[in-house]
Structure 1
Amino acid sequence: MSDATVVTMDKEHRLLNDGAVAVQGDAIVAVDTTAFIREHFVAGKIVDARGGLLLPGLINAHTHMGMSLLRGLAEDQSLSDWLNKYIFPAESRNVTPEFVKWSTQLSLLEMFRGGTTTVADMYYFEDTVAQTAKEAGMRGVLGETIIAFPAPDNKTLAAALQYTEQFLNHWKNDPLITPAVAPHSIYTCPEQILMDSAALARRYHAPILIHMAEAPFEIELSRHQHGQSTVQYLDRIGLLGPDVVGAHCIWVDQADIRTLASHGVGCSYNPSSNMKTAAGLMPAVDMLAANVAVGIGTDGAASNNNQDMFEEMDLAAKLQKFGHMDPTVLPAEQVVAMATITGARALHLDSEIGSLEVGKKADMIVIDTSAPHATPMYDVYAEIVYALKAEDVRTTIIGGRLVMEDRTMLTLDEKTILRKAAEYKEQIQASIKRKN
């Protein structure tokens, strides 16, 4: 990778004009000027990034890739109605391993085009999600969802725990896939399920992914049933720890934030989804100030309705500014960090990804800055957050492997994926009509 403005996101947030990155295998071996790299390394392949930005791949800290085929199915609903009246029934009628495979490919196609190189995912048939992601070249923290009622992949808790244990064994020590356990939430998992899920994860030293303090109805439920907030309840039962990633974390007060920080819990900020379902505004500024690692996530395409991290970065900043009535909060540079190195920290992977540094994985993207909406450029970070778009991503590399080059997909069959998505639309609509 050469001849670019390199946005390292290292501890100093160094910017290198006319910079380059040398890669050997799946790792970065040098980050320096183009002249230095050309003098000291012999390249088997040179990716010309001339006139563009070269930065760490974006990290989507929370989504559901298997739900992309449900995009637009139910709109303008409260979160509770959206889940219980539309999504859960549609999933029970349609979700199979084959459905999840094609839905995941559709998600990956969108993510590669938008510069996402790592994703934290929760869904059913997560072994299928992992296999699909692995074949395409995506890096992922992938959690098998455990839920109280019969799910598309497992009809009982015993079956779900057995499936999840097999999933953890299958993917342990994989260079791309980090298998995780994903108890859905406190409002779909009784206490024993939460504790059993956490125990299984910790037996295998696996991450725990969970929806946390997501909506007003959840907080009301927690206070009514447990006499505590969601965070304090999860703390009391021993679920919180430095292996946990909490999705949403909207309805948290200062005591909750201190608890999250003390346990090293990572959190994901999902502005589009939270706006659309009127779930609330995450106190991201306060959480970051308390040293809680907050990444940015799209949530699933069924509730967003896309998986565009550039859109999420833009909204992440503007919502906090509007919420605080202060244009200085959450500046662009901090938002870029949330989508890269801080997001890596939220997923507990910052020793491996999130910045362009020697020894880290070669997860990188090249962004074109020649479009009218990107010209002129005075501040790199402001350009990334407020001006650039997903379609400006030119090349996407994960672990040293090109998955998209010059906007051409290299590991996914785009035409077939889009054709299958159209076919599934007909199937899903027919299933809903039959039920009604």
Structure 2
Amino acid sequence: DGPLEFWIARRFGAPTVDPYLDTLCAATDMLARGITCVQHLQGRLFGDPDTFEAEDDRILEAYRDAGMRVSYSRGLTDQCRFVYDADDTFLATLTPSEREAVDHLVAQPVEPAGEQLTSSYHALRGRWQGKADGRIAVQLAPVNLHWCSDELLLRAEDVSRADNVPMHMHVVETPYQAVYAQLRSGGKSAVGHLDALGLLSPRLTMGHSVWLTSDDIRRVRRSGACICHNPGSNFRLMSGLAPVSRFRAEGIPVAIGIDEAGLSDRRDMMDEMRLAWALLQSPGHGETPVDGREVLRMALDDAAATTPFGGTIGRIEPGYSADLILLSWDRIAGAYFDVADGNVSALLRRMVSSSVRTVLVAGRIVHDEGQSTMVDIATAMDELGQRTKAAAALDPVGRVATAAALESGMRRFYNRMPWIDWRSITGESALWKR
């Protein structure tokens, strides 16, 4: 509920949560809402790298126990941890009190590119790829252009090509990221820079992609890359509205994502599908409404294509995994349903979490009539709540002060050139607004 750049700062004010319980509760919540597969991008800008592997394992143990399918990545980052500029440049703009509040973050090391790929991909993949009856896959996630050096991006692309494994990368989520790309590459857009490095390919999914230019869209189409559309997240973080109609007109595969919470604090893909459907419609009596089947394709086939499970999930066909949602038609139709409205329209307009009767993943019932068949979720939620409340009462490294200091410094940083000039710099890519 505020710009992404400041939300990043506010994250440091949140209490620490147990990774296993947090993931277990989230996974069960998603399953209850009919989500059978999740793309989990575990972002880490700060922390002790020696603890990351254990945390990855606890997260994946939770997905295993919940019965959910997951494509997991530990986010790759090696620069610009605070703002869209070098750490030292930003730190030099802080007041003494602000610098004191963030010093403990500065002291935390940045893993070199090679070490990151070894621990976050090769070792992780060796431990987890194909586990839980094939429900767990490991892929790559260079988190965003500003957080990754060219060396890290090129190394990730080499691994992606060698192993034929997908990569997921947030790209120009906000207009300030578009400004950064031009500064970094001498006038190129983020997509232009990625293209020059050779990263655009059918193995790449670009998250958000709100501020793409017409030339960017053509490059993406030619490359075969996918886009993951997160409309609710884009609204909540005041990032803008991606020109999805233009993406689809060019034949670019577009998945629908919620980027953790979406428009509400519920992990509700049903709400996100309805929002995406509404935003695809064009004004005017002469326009043909977009069929709901297009939205279903974005949430099913196109979404599956962004993961290592592409071609094996997202359809009810021989040879595909039995990841199925059984819905109560009575709960959808209610007291009255006109068959002329069509079943697909009714599903998209009316289905809510209570419409879900049974959820199967890989042929196994993992959720039935509102209850997990895999874990005691009530006990897990109670324990998570107690632990999180206890953590919120502690402030071992001044987390609240850290968040406040970072946000204060960030507000000053972005309130100057060239950042305040983003409207003129991104003018062409905002033409869809007019």
| Contact kept? 2:31, 2:359, Cα under 8 Å | yes
- Equivalent residue number for residue 147 of structure 1: 77
- Write the distance in 1 (CA, Å) between the matches of 2:310 and 2:111: 36
| Contact kept? 1:285, 1:330, Cα under 8 Å | no
- Equivalent residue number for residue 167 of structure 1: 124
- Write the distance in 2 (CA, Å) between the matches of 1:230 and 1:102: 37
1:86 aligned onto 2:10: yes
- Equivalent residue number for residue 77 of structure 1: 2
Shift of 1:403: 0.3
- Equivalent residue number for residue 192 of structure 1: 151
- Write the distance in 2 (CA, Å) between the matches of 1:200 and 1:178: 15
Q: Which of the numbers 146, 149, 163 marks the counterpart of 1:204? A: 163
| Contact kept? 1:154, 1:160, Cα under 8 Å | no
Superposed, 1:19-168 pairs within 5 Å as 76-83=1-8, 85-87=9-11, 89-90=12-13, 94=16, 99-124=18-43, 125-148=55-78, 149=81, 155-157=110-112, 158-164=114-120, 165-168=122-125
| Contact kept? 1:284, 1:320, Cα under 8 Å | yes
- Equivalent residue number for residue 18 of structure 1: none
- Write the distance in 1 (CA, Å) between the matches of 2:343 and 2:109: 47
Gaps of 5+ in 2: 44-54, 82-104, 402-434
| Contact kept? 2:233, 2:262, Cα under 8 Å | no
Q: Which of the numbers 196, 203, 207 marks the counterpart of 1:247? A: 207
Instruction: Point out the structure with the larger helix share.
Output: 2
237-246 vs 417-426, which deviates more?
417-426
TM-score, normalised via structure 2 length: 0.75
**1:295 counterpart letter in structure 2:** A
- Write the distance in 1 (CA, Å) between the matches of 2:270 and 2:149: 36
1:404 aligned onto 2:367: yes
1:326 to 1:293, Cα distance in 2 relative to 1, 3 A: farther
Shift of 1:262: 2.0
- Write the distance in 1 (CA, Å) between the matches of 2:119 and 2:13: 22
SS of residue matched to 2:305:
helix
Shift of 1:153: 11
**1:161 counterpart letter in structure 2:** L
- Write the distance in 1 (CA, Å) between the matches of 2:290 and 2:280: 7
TM-score, normalised via structure 1 length: 0.75
Q: Deviations over 1:320-355 (max 9, x none)?
A: 326899874432111111111222234364421111
Shift of 1:196: 2.3
1:314 to 1:154, Cα distance in 2 relative to 1, 3 A: farther
**2:166 counterpart letter in structure 1:** P
1:112 to 1:223, Cα distance in 2 relative to 1, 3 A: same
| Contact kept? 2:263, 2:272, Cα under 8 Å | no
1:122 to 1:249, Cα distance in 2 relative to 1, 3 A: same
Instruction: Point out the structure with the larger strand share.
Output: 1
- Write the distance in 1 (CA, Å) between the matches of 2:258 and 2:369: 24
Counting matched residue pairs gives 355
1:429 aligned onto 2:403: no
1:187 to 1:94, Cα distance in 2 relative to 1, 3 A: same
- Write the distance in 2 (CA, Å) between the matches of 1:412 and 1:117: 16
> Structure 1 vs Structure 2: percent identity of aligned residues?
23
| Contact kept? 1:298, 1:309, Cα under 8 Å | yes
1:105 to 1:259, Cα distance in 2 relative to 1, 3 A: same
1:323 to 1:113, Cα distance in 2 relative to 1, 3 A: farther
Shift of 1:371: 3.0
Q: Which of the numbers 255, 263, 266 marks the counterpart of 1:295? A: 255
- Write the distance in 1 (CA, Å) between the matches of 2:376 and 2:367: 12
- Write the distance in 1 (CA, Å) between the matches of 2:384 and 2:234: 26
